[in-house]
Amino acid sequence: MTSVDFHFNTPDRLTHACRLVRKALRAQAATDEKPLIVFCSDRGRLEQFDELLYSFSDEDFLPHVHADHPLVDEAPIILSHQAYSPPMPRLPNILVNLDDAVPDFFTHFQRVFEIVGPDEADKELARARFTLYRDRGYAITRHDLAAKG
């Protein structure tokens, strides 16, 4: 069953998502065989994230493509603004949800990351997502970044 990690009180959602993606690549939790999918139906937000992946770190290259790119079958990080799950034999392992709602296809993945900023509007949307996962019985792990100082 899919497990869900909520990262609360992140000062910058997109930068935090870059850190998660980098950590998954370093730990080989995101590979060509089991790609990490970043989903956001808001194309503007997804494009911002795309650009940030290139400039986020001077030491790290975070190889990624959009789901409609010709090299999508070889990329460890795939960005998509619509439902996407990698075709077999690739395994849908991690989904980073940058959307305001829970994507219908999240159950295809072993793990989902939800990133929540400090502003009230973002928190309210996250509460609705949290409630949906909880009410359907998914295991949820909470990470409060404000508590980490």
What's the whole-model pTM score? Answer: 0.94
Tens-place pLDDT, residues 87-140:
888 888 999 999 999 999 999 999 999 999 999 999 999 999 999 999 999 999
Tens-place pLDDT, residues 38-95:
999 999 999 999 999 999 888 888 899 999 999 999 999 999 999 998 888 888 899 9
- 82 to 10, 43, 67, 87: CA distances (angstroms): 24, 10, 9, 15
Tens-place pLDDT, residues 3-38:
999 999 999 999 999 999 999 999 999 999 999 999
Domain 3-118 class? alpha beta
3-state SS, residue 112:
strand
